[in-house]
Chain A
Amino acid sequence: AQTVTQSQPEMSVQEAETVTLSCTYDTSENNYYLFWYKQPPSRQMILVIRQEAYKQQNATENRFSVNFQKAAKSFSLKISDSQLGDTAMYFCAFMKQKRADGLTFGKGTHLIIQP
């Protein structure tokens, strides 16, 4: 079974600062996907970024980028130039590549962007 650990229950930064959310996972699989989802108070789970484990290059999406360390089983999310609208719960998630069993989520990090 896979496990996903997010060790930061809550983080708070000032607007325009850069913030990094940490995520570690445990798996015996070699091929898998990793995701970061954002969940604002509206509860809509929104995909932020996706990483395929076979790709060495870190995924980026505008202000969002990841630091994927496969050997260390680490998958952190960096948000640059943070904005008030980035305030939300952020969930790290794991999915097997073969016979996907659904997503395995961490407990989430509540990110607060202060004006």
Chain B
Amino acid sequence: EAGVVQSPRYKIIEKKQPVAFWCNPISGHNTLYWYLQNLGQGPELLIRYENEEAVDDSQLPKDRFSAERLKGVDSTLKIQPAELGDSAVYLCASSLETGNTQYFGPGTRLTVL
């Protein structure tokens, strides 16, 4: 069974530029999560989807961050414009349903110059 797929693995951009991350969850998993992991810290939840509905986006900085999960499968997380402080690893995870074990992708390491 394929795991959670994320792309790109690495991204380097200049500040004020837009950037997007893509996530393909494990087949059949209807809950999808995006986490932000700063250096030396544990991941922090940004947004959670149940199918195509964002059911918890309270930690998503909505002035510059946006996310979508069309058709309840793949998801895209976007930052526009990026700031220096956005440099971090962005992790995607999925689970069969809310409350079950979450399985993580390899993450995207973003560097903003």
Quick one: closest B residue to A110, CB to CB? B40
Contact B42 A106 (CB under 8 A): yes
Question: A99's contact among B98, B104, B105, by CB below 8 Å, is which?
Answer: B98
Min CB–CB distance A32 → chain B (angstroms): 10
How many A residues face the partner with a CB closer than 8 A? Answer: 27
Which residue of chain B lies nearest to A6 when distances are taken between CB atoms in the complex?
A: B42
**Which segment of A42-50, A54-62, A67-75, A76-84 sits at the interface?**
A42-50
Partner of A95, one of B40, B99, B107, B109: B99
Chain A contacts for B43, CB-based, 8 A:
45, 91, 103, 105
The answer for the CA separation of A103 and B33 in the assembled complex, in Å, is 10
Q: Which residues of B contact A93 (CB under 8 A)?
A: 42
Type the 1/0 row for A90-115, where 1 means its CB is closer than 8 Å to any CB of B: 01010111111111111110000000
Contact call A107/B41, Cβ cutoff below 8 A: yes
Interface residues of B in 9-45 (CB under 8 A from A): 33, 35, 40-45
A100 to B40, CA, bound (A): 25
Interface hub of A44, A96, A101, A102 (most chain B Cβ within 10 A) = A102
- Decide yes or no: A35 and B104 within 8 Å by CB, A101-B45, A103-B43 being known contacts: no
A-B pairs with beta carbons under 8 Å apart, 8 shown: A35-B101, A37-B104, A97-B99, A100-B98, A102-B35, A107-B40, A107-B41, A107-B42
Q: Which 7 residue pairs across A and B have the least CB separation, nearest first?
A: A105-B42, A102-B45, A45-B104, A100-B98, A43-B107, A100-B99, A44-B106
